[in-house]
Amino acid sequence: MLQRVISLCLATAVASVLVVQGTGWAQTVRALPDCQGKLQVRPSSIVFACGDGGVYASGVSWSKWGTLSATATATMHANDCEPNCAAGHFHTYAAIIVVSGTQRCSNVTAYRQIAYVPRSQGYPTARTKLDWMQLRC
């Protein structure tokens, strides 16, 4: 199942690149908005749970950047929120991160959405196995 989800995410990213390339679009995507909308270039860490920092990635290593989709490997850190988020414990696991889509942020082309997929066991059962979010400038 995990391989199927990863394959679907990557196939969607590749398909969007092919569709846009066929239209002659050649804009380089240069940035990734963080939780406050500040633009980052090839960030080495990413916060997914902007409200409390309960899910974040560290050691982000980009294998692709600047096209309509970008991929990276990372170590995810997720709070299990057991018995509650304040008293919860963080768990770590390997993941793949995919960013895609575009938007204009202060005259810079930036990615519009981000997703992560676990590559190993260890993610808290309270968290989904695939998570994505829209990025805002």
DSSP-assigned letters across all residues of 29-55 = P-BEE-TTS-EESS-S-EES-TTT--E
* pLDDT above 70: percentage of residues in the chain: 73
pLDDT, tens digit (0-9, with 9 covering 90-100), for 71-85? 999 999 999 899 999
Backbone angles phi, psi at 18, to 5 degrees: -65, -40
User: Any idea where the domains of the chain sit in the sequence?
Assistant: 2-134
* pLDDT tens profile 18-72: 334 333 345 688 999 999 999 999 999 999 988 888 999 999 999 989 998 999 9
111 φ, ψ to 5°?
-70, 150
Could you tell me the pTM of the whole model? 0.75
Residue 124 pLDDT grade (very low, low, confident, very high; cuts 50, 70, 90): low
Backbone angle region of 37, left / alpha / beta, with phi > 0 → left and psi within -120 to 50 → alpha: left
State the DSSP H helix or E strand holding residue 4, giving kind and residue range, or none if neither: helix 2-22
